Amino acid sequence: MNDKYQTLFQPVQLPVGIELKNRIAMAPMTIISSNPDGSVTDAELAYYARRSGGVGMVITAAAKVVTTDGTPGILAADRDELIPSLRQLATTIKGRGARAVLQIIHTGRKAPQSEHGPVAPSAVTDDVEGAVVPRELTDAEIREIVQAFGQATRRAMEAGFDGVELHGANGYLLQQFFSPFTNRREDHWGGTLEKRLNFPLAVIEEVKKVVQEHAREPFIVGYRFSPEEPETPGITMAETLVLADTLAEQNLDYLHVSLHDFWSEPRRGVEDTRSRMEILHERVGKKVPLMGVGNIFTADDAAKALQTGVPLLALGRELILEPDWVEKITEGREHEIKTTLSLQDQARLQLPDPLWNMIQGMKGWFPIEE
């Protein structure tokens, strides 16, 4: 292995005491390939097995915590009968040598319209034609969802996962409560910046309580968030720093900063020309490990990102393109890493049909060879 990549493969000790064998994680990627009941498919197991051999940690695609979350094709951790299915997934990942972390989610207003309809902190819709107005959650429903995150965590533990990641990014329910665009409430769950934090904090508290009650060995709890929003009103970089400060005090094992580009810069809210990752690392990096992601394709991309001091990197699209990314670098074959996709690659890369169809249908998402 080239000496300049040695830092990529240093072990990382998480606050809970679990060691990751290197600094590279598989990012949680939406693959919408589960069975209609939310159980894992053979195609998903093959997909994860193909990508779990080199990385230190695999964060799965999101698993829903309530049955009424009407997003088709996603994993589910909403009922005990799915524990054997979740165990299959955890065993597959860990059997290849990676730590297995189950991402858990409530999609809120982003759920497709169903018989129940999407729900949200407030009945606010996007300003686009045909957008559905979500139903505002009651106080009792919010508290039930908090409990549901805790029960999904218990199921993850019983299934043998090493941890959970709370999906508070990409416009899903945890972010919806923090955002002034989607949260117009005037009760315990909204009205001020501090009150908009109450739902994420309640979920974290419940999850950590369940871990304390049920874990028989160290168990990872991570949190993913998106810095800023394009909407007005929306989350600014200044508010993102308040969120990061608050999360850094919750005794979490890592904060996963969801970005399309690791080096993206703030839109508004701070007078700083550095990247968001550099700003966040300076702000909270001494309190909690940060994980960066976004447009990291080559070994040099990763080495440059680690020079910021951020201890963990997640690869999403690149591990779909190149399942052997880690192995090729450690074997000195980094020049062989694939960074594009051909239309003949599905079987070779063991990509489930729904994911393959999504890749072909979303122009610009992946670099596809013509």
- Tell me, yes or no, whether 137 lies in a domain: yes
CATH classification at residue 198: 3.20.20.70
pLDDT category at 294 given cuts 50, 70, 90 is very high
Contacts of 362 (CB under 8 A, 6+ apart): none
Q: pLDDT digit string (tens) for 190-206?
A: 999 999 999 999 999 99
Q: Decide if 148 is inside a domain.
A: yes
Judge whether residue 47 has pLDDT over 90: yes
Burial zone of 332 (CB within 10 Å; 0-12 exposed, 13-18 middle, 19+ buried) = exposed
Express as a percent the part of the chain with pLDDT over 90.
92
Give the chain's domain count. Answer: 1
Average pLDDT over the chain reads 96
Closest Cα to residue 156, out of 100, 204, 98? 100
pLDDT above 70 as % of the chain: 99
pLDDT tens-place string over residues 169-198: 999 999 999 999 999 999 999 999 999 999
Residue 72 falls within a domain, yes or no? yes
- Kindly state the tokens that stand for 250: 């919750």
Statement: residue 114 has pLDDT above 70: no
0.95 exceeded by pTM: yes
Angle between helices 83-95 and 139-159 (to 10 degrees): 50
Q: Decide if pLDDT at 111 tops 90.
A: no
pLDDT digits (tens, 9 = 90+) for 243-291: 999 999 999 999 999 999 999 999 999 999 999 999 999 999 999 999 9
Q: Is residue 368 part of a domain?
A: no
Quote the CA–CA distance of 45 and 40 in Å, as a whole number: 7
Domain that holds residue 227: 3-361
Q: Is residue 66 part of a domain?
A: yes
Strands 24-26 and 19-20 come out as: unpaired
Model confidence pLDDT, tens digit, residues 209-223: 999 999 999 999 999
Residue 366 lies inside a defined structural domain of this protein: no
pLDDT at 113: 63
Indicate whether 367 belongs to any domain.
no
**Which pLDDT score is estimated for 131?**
80
- Which residues are tagged catalytic? 172
Residue 70: per-residue pLDDT = 75
